[in-house]
Structure 1
Amino acid sequence: MTGNQPNYAEHSENFVKPTARQFALRELHAMAVNPKAWIGMAAVITMLTVMGPFGTIIDMNFSQRLVYWSGICMLTFPVAFGLSVAISVILHDRGLPDAVARTLAGAIAGLPVAAIVWLWNLVSGDIDPATFTGHFPALLRMAGVTVPISAAVSLLFYLVTSNTRAAADVPQATARAEIPFFKRLPVELGRDIISLQAQDHYVRVTTTRGSEMILIRLADAENELGTGLGERVHRSWWVAAAHASRIERTDGRMELVLSNGTSVPVSRSYREAAQALVRSAPGT
């Protein structure tokens, strides 16, 4: 019976530190199935169609602008979003502050966006790419527009989401200070726990700032944390409610995807608890 079961303990590092590519793909999937993302996309396309920036208000009628800006947004958004997420993860792992990592990642993602916009103009024939250039090369002039916009959007998105999380954490700050388990954690690790994973006689504690091995049994750590912050979803895993993103099923196995992209195995006996975590997570 156990011979065909995946050994999550042997691959714990893959769960604790997903690659930037895996994280970006998961974030793209989450965005693709989120109705709010499509509503936002429609709002942006509508705004661009009505305003007609970069000369499109003069060169195109309304229906042409609608097709043009729909194509631009649908082609560039997944590329810019996926690349900026992946690059920001890499930069963050190299010690850059979150705001700096997000801004640089957005700027870098703006480069392929420039190429996509230029090619769209060339293929669609709606606008001659040369009209953007003057005596500068077309791609360089286009990048001069897309890079700062992409960097600004990436930074703005980070600031909005981080402020939202901070506001949500304020009412819990006093209560968290009284939780015994937090006294075991290094100060630099913070208190915003994402997950706990049992490894032999230790527990790997993962927070939004990193991870650390603590000498304690998972059951004891769970008791010290008390109720309300999270739930056990596997004999080796405890997950914070605030960081439970969604449920996925792979080859009949249930996995819980966390806010940092980690996929956590869910035991059959804990499936209801995992589903309850996702339902209670902020923003769901």
Structure 2
Amino acid sequence: MSIATRLTFWGVICTTGVVVASFVRVVTVSLIKYHGRKPHLLLESGCFALISVPIFVGLTREMATNTQFQLPPIEQAFVYTMLFHLFGVAIRKMSRPEDKIHAPAMTPMVQSKPTPPRLLDRIQGHNNAEIVHLTVDDHYVEILLSNGLRHRLLMRFRDAVAEMDGVPGHMVHRSHWVSHAAIRSVERDNGREFVLLNTGGKVPVGRTYRDTLVRVNLLAPRD
């Protein structure tokens, strides 16, 4: 093939590969996104090879008709294409680590004796401790204080959250509220995300509340 033909051939091959890889990535993510998991790399690479190999073979036969170029067996072409795609994914992961979860960047806030939340007035003997975690317990609300003590109040959960006015915090789950100052870090365990408290507690993150945590830089956005 002439130089112009070679440039055209490889340009078409590379462009086709990028388009097919992007299409496969979007489809595999969309199909399993509701499970809260990431696509399996072998599945993604297999789909890429399944779609792209026939295209590559057809283009090669069309553009290399007057050369002695020999196409490899179809099964070898399939394996080579999968390995090429896995290599590309590895390069992408190294340049943009999407699974890295780190402790939230806390901005120190200098306050002079902030007003305690109204909910704290319902707790006897709190000894000026701070409320770090609220959770639902049947018809009760369980309250965790910064000194490690727990209290149970008979009230609605949404009313308890409303009485935390003035305290920066986040709904991380439909049954959990946590104080922003009490968050130590965020971790992923077996495909699920958890907020770790400085008291040692571990609170699950609900899928519908994840975007709220992303907006305040407590979690990294997903692709």
Which is higher, the Rg of structure 1 or of structure 2?
2
Whether TM exceeds 0.5 here: the answer is: no
Q: TM-score, normalised by structure 1?
A: 0.36
Q: TM-score, normalised by structure 2?
A: 0.45
